[in-house]
Structure 1
Amino acid sequence: MIPPAGAPLVLRGREVGRDDDGSVRPVVMAIVNRTTDSFYAPARFSEDDRALEAAHRAWQEGAEILDVGGVRAGVGPEVGAAEEIDRVVPFVARVRSELPELLISVDTWRSEVARAAVEAGADLLNDTWAGHDPALVEVAGGAGVGVVCSHTGGARPRTDPWRVEYQPGDAAQDGPGAADPRDGVTRDVLRTLGESARRAVACGVPPSSVLVDPTHDFGKNTWHSLHLLRRTEELARLGHPVLMALSRKDFVGETLGLEPDERLPGTLAATALAAWHGARVFRTHDVVPTRQALEMVAAVRDEAPPRAASRGMA
């Protein structure tokens, strides 16, 4: 049985991931980090010209959203708000000018950075640190742009998880069929994302512009992240488009015993599973293979036709 399709995504009044013929497809979000220390070296684009080339390449390869980050997610040298704005905002303005059809997301937890990015043309605010600055979602609501609600288990920005625990799942609380003791993390994620999404809507963000992200690796160990992947369908039932940021992450590397530059096949396997179970947006370092994997899943789900079906037809 094919799981239900995920919720539609609309940013600034434009539905993303639906073709003119009505067919639905998952959405690729390409990554451009304006940093020198991101965990995956090929995604570091601190030089303006190289970053712009990466944006053009992502658009040509089929990405519909570009996610721009100015600060490494993990532990590293301090980057203040002013420096983050300097890294991100002029670049957003330039991408908006040169690639007007490419939707722009900015990965930040700071409301002052979010406000400047929106003024420069950003369409989506990717709040990876789960509302650490509660004013960020107010910026999104006031400007009519989208927002990503995430889950970190209470972790503070730029900290690594340490001996993370969640209360075991309980059938009495989680309902029949949810007695898996590992579902404690599922319950916590669903509760947190549900509350965050409701606040975003109350602040003025349209429900179809509120994305929910279980945020693999953040405030979680590898077992937690794997279990949340199994529970993608439950995340989709929240009624908002689900964002999956799986690309080359540590849970993939630890599962397979691989370093970041070897994690693409594992990432694509996780991507296909999440897409089958209703996730809608996929943040990736690798646009072409991710798009191809998602197109294959969409065809198997009967949401999009094959591009060139001729075998046995003549």
Structure 2
Amino acid sequence: MLQALQDTCFSPRQTLRCPGGRVLDLRRPQVMGILNLTPDSFFAGNRIGSQDELLRRAELMLGQGASILDLGGYSSRPGAEDIPADEEKRRVLPAIEAVRQAFPDAFISVDTFRASVAAEAVAAGADILNDISGGQLDAELLPTVGHLQVPYILMHMRGTPQTMPQLTHYDDDLVLELVRYFRDKLAELRSHGISDVVLDPGFGFAKTPAQGHELLRRLPELQILGLPILAGLSRKSMVAKALGLSAEAALPGTVAVNTMALLNGARILRVHDVAEAVQTIQLVSTTYSPVFP
């Protein structure tokens, strides 16, 4: 299996080539700030109700040190309502246009699994596609990404946001299943000409809190695939439930698991709270200077 993985893996890369010739450097870990354009995000403190609020939040995150702003109009929390593509576009496209106009140098990610949303989002100014589904929920997505030639965040998930809470049983070793999944998906991405890829293990997506902690501990095992890893741990149930807290009270726990993720190889932290994540990277980089340039 090791040789098969080595044959399938992309060449190690610590940069993402974005539209307009811009390059996002991942040699030092970066922060992705979450901008939820949904009315039912699991963390109420991150829900955005107007364009003015969106731009204020974006300005704050960029000022605090976020390199990427991740905009999403489809809630992927467990059991979330399924909405049509037109509604998702209504939420996300004007927001991308507004953020791009106000902050032309920002790296913008669109959180979607739909090909039509992805194409229109990139036309509106998005640089990166963040897909929770690995191309499994829209057969046209991966060909569209290959045509768009934008960096692609490949996440592991089973089922849909509506069904994934019932799909947490793994017949084999959890990390081995993820490695196999990514191996097969990377071969598929290659066939579509997609070369700039970030891996997201999908904490909380078809995984129990206990499985999330196992995955966090074993995150270095995913480095065999030779690609940057994104950790999306912010205020999730594996943090809040482990502490007996609500998502609103789980910021200190989030800082703790983000520290673990960095020490285990994560290159992007996807967070609701940018300042704390930036400080975490700074301190880990200071203490473990051989790890990060």
TM-score by length of 1: 0.83
* Aligned partners of 2:28 and 2:292 also within 8 Å: no
Matched, 1:216 2:203: yes
* Largest Rg, 1 or 2: 1
Q: Secondary structure at the match of 1:57?
A: helix
Q: Residue 60 of structure 2 aligns with which residue?
A: 57
Q: CA deviation at 1:303?
A: 5.1
Residues in 2 aligned to 1:277 and 1:14: alpha-carbon distance in whole angstroms? 28
Are 1:151 and 2:138 counterparts? no
Give the 3 Å change call, closer, same or farther, for CA 158–83 of structure 1 in structure 2: same
Query: SS of 1:30's equivalent?
Result: strand
- The whole-number CA distance in structure 1 between the counterparts of 2:152 and 2:94 is 21
In structure 1, distance between residues paired with 2:96 and 2:261: 29
Q: 1:16 aligns with which of 2, 16, 24?
A: 24
Give the number of equivalent residue pairs. 278
C-alpha root-mean-square deviation of aligned residues, in Å? 1.9
Residues 273-305 of structure 1: per-residue CA shift (max 9 Å, x gap) = 111121101100000001100111122221599
Q: Distance in 2 between matches of 1:244 and 1:162?
A: 22
Unaligned runs of 5+ in 1: 1-5, 19-23, 169-183, 307-314
Seen in structure 2, the aligned counterparts of structure 1 residues 249 and 38 have a Cα distance that, compared at 3 Å, is same
C-alpha distance 196-163 of structure 1, shift in aligned 2 (>3 A): closer
Aligned to 1:283, which of 248, 251, 270? Answer: 270
Give the secondary structure class of the aligned counterpart of 1:161: helix
Q: What CA distance in whole angstroms lies between the structure 1 residues aligned with 2:245 and 2:107?
A: 32
Q: Matches of 2:54 and 2:122 in 1, distance apart? A: 19
Residue of structure 1 equivalent to 2:281 = 294
Deviation digits for residues 103-123 of structure 1 (CA, Å, limit 9, x no counterpart): 111111111111110111111
- Structure 1 distance, partners of 2:262, 2:292, is 16
Match of 1:72 in 2: 75
Once residues 250 and 149 of structure 2 are traced to their aligned partners in structure 1, the CA distance between those partners, rounded to angstroms, is: 36
Identity %, equivalent residues:
36
1:127 matched to which residue of 2? 131
Structure 1 pair 59/194, CA: closer, same or farther in 2 (3 Å)?
Answer: same
Runs of 4+ in structure 1 displaced over 6 angstroms?
Answer: none
Amino acid at match of 1:126: N
- Between 1:60-69 and 1:89-98, the stretch displaced more is 89-98
Pick one of 97, 113, 116 that aligns with 1:112: 116
Relative to structure 1, the CA distance from residue 298 to residue 17 in structure 2 (aligned partners, 3 Å threshold; closer, same or farther) is: farther
- Equivalent residue, structure 1, for 2:7: none
Structure 2: unaligned runs, 5 residues or longer: 1-11
Residue 252 in structure 1 maps to residue 255 in structure 2: no
Shift of 1:266: 1.3
* Match in the other structure for 1:81: 85
Distance, in Å, in 1 between the alignment partners of 2:213 and 2:234 is: 14
* Helix, strand or coil at the partner of 1:237: helix
Q: Deviations over 1:72-114 (max 9, x none)?
A: 1122344210010011011111211211111111111111111
Q: Give the SS at the match of 2:165.
A: coil
Partner Cα distance (1:120, 1:87) in 2:
13
Q: After TM superposition, give the deviation of residue 16 of structure 1 in Å.
A: 2.4
Contact 1:25 1:295 in 2 (8 A): no
1:17 is displaced (CA, Å) by 3.5
Q: What residue is the counterpart of 1:30 in the other structure?
A: 33
